[in-house]
A = this chain, B = another copy of it.
Amino acid sequence: MAATFEYKEVVGIATESIEAAIKAGLKEVSAKYQIAWFEAVSLRGRMVDAETTEYQVTLKIGCREK
């Protein structure tokens, strides 16, 4: 029985939406690991220009090596 998970902590970034930033972070980690769950622990960002906002979501991701 696999009895442990490990946490990876990443920052996903996108300008479309907070959800897109989360998905960018998940995609990066899912290339190497099997993701079981995630927790969004902070939301930061910056204004790219008057119309565009960049969202930076810090994710703690519970996962196992594939």
Contacts and interface: CB of A to CB of B under 8 A. Distances in A.
A10 B10 contact: no
Interface residues of A, number: 40
Contact of A11 (B4, B10, B40): B4
Contacts of A17: 17, 19
B53 A45 contact: no
B6 A10 contact: yes
B4 A7 contact: no
Nearest to A9: B7
Interface of A: 3-14, 17-19, 22-26, 28, 30, 35-40, 42-47, 50, 53, 55, 58, 60, 62
List the 6 shortest-distance A-B pairs measured between CB atoms, nearest first.
Answer: A7-B9, A40-B43, A4-B28, A5-B11, A3-B24, A3-B13
